[in-house]
Amino acid sequence: MINDIHRLDPEIRLRPVTESDAASLAAALTRSRTYMSPWEPRRPDAFYTEQGQRERLAGILADREAGRAMSWVLADEDDRAVGGFNLNAIVLGPFRSATLGYWVDVEYAGRGLATTAVRLICDLARDELRLHRVEAGTLLHNVASRRVLTKCGFEQFALVPRYMHIDGDWRDHRLFQRVLHDGPVTGAPAAPGA
Ligand SMILES: CC(C)(COP(=O)(O)OP(=O)(O)OC[C@H]1O[C@@H](n2cnc3c(N)ncnc32)[C@H](O)[C@@H]1OP(=O)(O)O)[C@@H](O)C(=O)NCCC(=O)NCCS
């Protein structure tokens, strides 16, 4: 279920983000700052503090309540957040689409966690949110992220010039999508905030 805790490997679980993740998110983002900086928007120093994360989480949780987004963290054995996964811009009606974003703590990268989490989130998006497609964008040279997406069944459908402001400039992006199903639009979706 969308609000359940899912074990990804012996050490790491995927679970919905909560307000109490602010401190561990600030710590994980701080130690991963240099590693992530080529792939991320420039952030003010306040973003890397517990208070900055508390403010960010307030927006994330409000979006979840409103059914606009769903956010998970990777949680270690001590339940500290060591990565983040978001389905943003959830749109229903005939589009039934969402945009996927993710990061993994530098200390946990390269062991298959992003691939396992993205596969699981796509299953939840199809079976519980009843979405038709999930979209994700990467910088042209983000080979690791592209590899995650292609392993999870995403296909590139566009190459967009100056798409997003990343690492200090407007950068070209590859856009990928995974079509989750081609069935009819039936029933109400599970509410992310339920
Ligand atoms: C992208 C990211 C989430 C991947 O997380 P992860 O848990 O390390 O990913 P996985 O271990 O599941 O898979 C990574 C794949 O990329 C490959 N890879 C990693 N770095 C690579 C590199 N520099 N060149 C080529 N392949 C690379 C790995 O070998 C693996 O592929 P494989 O299974 O075929 O060997 C992580 O690197 C990250 O957080 N990066 C910074 C933020 C970011 O880029 N977010 C995505 C924005 S679109």
- Residue with CA at minimum distance from ligand 1 atom 39: 103
3-state helix, strand, coil in the chain (%, to 5): 35, 30, 35
Going from the C-alpha of 175 to that of each of 13, 96, 124, 155, 190, the distances in angstroms are 28, 17, 21, 8, 27
- Tell me, what DSSP letter sits at residue 151? H
Task: Specify the ligand 1 atom closest to the Cα of 145.
Answer: 1
On whether the pTM is more than 0.85, the answer is yes
- Residue with CA at minimum distance from ligand 1 atom 45: 103
Residues present in the chain in total:
194
pLDDT tens per residue across all 194 residues of the chain: 999 999 999 999 999 999 999 999 999 999 999 999 999 999 999 999 999 999 999 999 999 999 999 999 999 999 999 999 999 999 999 999 999 999 999 999 999 999 999 999 999 999 999 999 999 999 999 999 999 999 999 999 999 999 999 999 999 999 999 999 998 886 556 556 54
Determine contact, residues 145/39, Cβ cutoff 8 Å: yes
CA atoms within a 13 Å half-sphere pointing along the CA-CB vector of 151: 15
CA of 82 to the centre of ligand 1 (A): 15
- CA 51, 52, 58, 60 torsion: positive or negative? negative
